Amino acid sequence: MSSPLALRAEALQLRFGSTQILRQVDLEVRPGDLYGLLGRNGAGKTTTLRALLGFLPSFGGRCEVFGVPSRKLHQLPLPIGVALDPPGLDDTLTVRQNLEIARIRGGIRGGRDVDEVLDLVGLVHRQHNRGGKLSHGQGRRAAVARALLGDPRLLVMDEPLSGLDPEGVEDLLDLFRRLAAEQGVTVVLSSHHLREVQEVCTRVGVLEDGRTVLEGETTELLARAGEGLELRCAQVEQALAILVAWPPVRDAAPLGAGRISARLDPGADLVPLLAKLAAAGVGLEEFHRKRASLVDLFRRAVHQGEEA
């Protein structure tokens, strides 16, 4: 029998009063995944994570953690580490005191102690600072440190990279990668750092307006997207019409500010297309071939979600 998914959301829906927050969220996180949950502000990432963790009293659909319904997580035998936003630190206590109390309240014995998690997230030099004196990025590090206490087999983190400088982003992503690859920890994080996430996440899911609009293995999604073309021009609608009618173009979508992104068949010759666009007088300003990135997939999925 195959092992259960680490996290599963199936037809997840949620309404707050008259406002529909989640409409159709379907996600699958496998044990050992480093999973990136992506989406614009208000897309439903935080609400989805809270529903999966059983923090919301009422929702429609199915939510499970290692096969256990989210509403019954007290029955789950595996430890979970959680870092949500805001971090929820006691501003009157030091970072070390916050972590020590979290360890006591959580009944955590064995695994990583306070000293180890402080070192892992780079907060040893701030351990005696009170929570209210931390920067936003330091608060995120402290929340991650708290989630790492003990030996969690699943880490669920909402925007753990928020407020970090580039070096801090790289440090935490490298930590998450090592936890997943070397220790088999399942790591789920929401993030706006798409380019960085592309380098480490084995799977991604994209939400738009409370719906899942894209999910899959990162490498497979990028390979399926193939080569791309990006251009900028004055006459977007006219250029789009030319692109859509040109056989080697799989699809094309506006990105705003006069920019267009398109997918191409492998090895497509762009010279005839460039000549056609120039002859049509679309006011071409930029035109270049590019490999598909997670940013491209995100833009395309969000655009398709807007049209759904």
**For residue range 9-65, what is the model confidence (pLDDT) as tens digits?**
999 999 988 889 999 999 999 999 999 999 888 899 999 999 999 998 878 999 999
Write the pLDDT tens digit of every residue in 173-209: 999 999 999 999 999 999 887 888 888 999 999 999 9
Co-location of 111 and 189 in the same domain: yes
Residue 150 has what pLDDT?
Answer: 96
User: In CATH, what number is assigned to the domain containing residue 282?
Assistant: 3.30.70.920
Tell me, yes or no, whether 296 lies in a domain. Answer: no
Residue 93 has what pLDDT?
Answer: 96
Residue 197 has what pLDDT?
Answer: 85
Tell me, yes or no, whether 308 lies in a domain. Answer: no
Tell me, yes or no, whether 133 lies in a domain. Answer: yes
Co-location of 200 and 248 in the same domain: no
- In this predicted model, which residue has the larger pLDDT, 150 or 57? 150
Tell me, yes or no, whether 32 lies in a domain. Answer: yes
Co-location of 235 and 121 in the same domain: no
Tell me, yes or no, whether 111 lies in a domain. Answer: yes
DSSP 3-state of 153: coil
Co-location of 244 and 213 in the same domain: no
Residue 151 has pLDDT above 90, yes or no: yes
Residue 2 has pLDDT above 70, yes or no: no
Mean pLDDT for 248-275 is: 89
Co-location of 66 and 209 in the same domain: yes
Tell me, yes or no, whether 297 lies in a domain. Answer: no
Co-location of 217 and 75 in the same domain: yes
Co-location of 140 and 274 in the same domain: no
Residue 1 has what pLDDT?
Answer: 45
158: closest CA among 26, 14, 38?
A: 38
Yes or no: say if 295 and 195 are a contact pair by the CB < 8 Å rule: yes
Co-location of 243 and 212 in the same domain: no
Tell me, yes or no, whether 267 lies in a domain. Answer: yes
Number of domains the chain contains? 2
Mean pLDDT for 263-284 is: 91
Residue 16 has what pLDDT?
Answer: 87
| pTM for this predicted structure | 0.83
DSSP 3-state of 54: coil
User: In CATH, what number is assigned to the domain containing residue 26?
Assistant: 3.40.50.300
The mean pLDDT value of the chain amounts to: 91
Q: How confident is the model at residue 301 (pLDDT cuts 50, 70, 90)?
A: confident
Residue recorded with tokens 């990006």? 230
Q: How confident is the model at residue 305 (pLDDT cuts 50, 70, 90)?
A: low
Domain boundary residue among 221, 242, 264? 221
Yes or no: say if 277 and 252 are a contact pair by the CB < 8 Å rule: no
Is the previous residue joined to 152 through a cis bond, with omega within 30 degrees of 0? no
- End-to-end CA separation in angstroms for the chain: 37
Co-location of 267 and 210 in the same domain: no
Residue ranges making up the domain that contains 103: 7-221
Q: How confident is the model at residue 224 (pLDDT cuts 50, 70, 90)?
A: confident
Crossing angle for the helix pair 294-307 and 218-225, to the nearest 10 degrees: 80
Residue 156 has what pLDDT?
Answer: 97
> Considering the chain, what percentage of its residues have pLDDT values greater than 70?
98
The rounded distance, in Å, linking the Cα atoms of 31 and 133 is 37
Co-location of 121 and 18 in the same domain: yes
Mean pLDDT for 122-143 is: 94
Residue 306 has what pLDDT?
Answer: 63
Domain boundary residue among 197, 221, 245? 221
Tell me, yes or no, whether 200 lies in a domain. Answer: yes
Co-location of 150 and 216 in the same domain: yes
Co-location of 91 and 206 in the same domain: yes
Q: Which residues does 40 contact at the CB level (< 8 Å), separation at least 6?
A: 208, 302
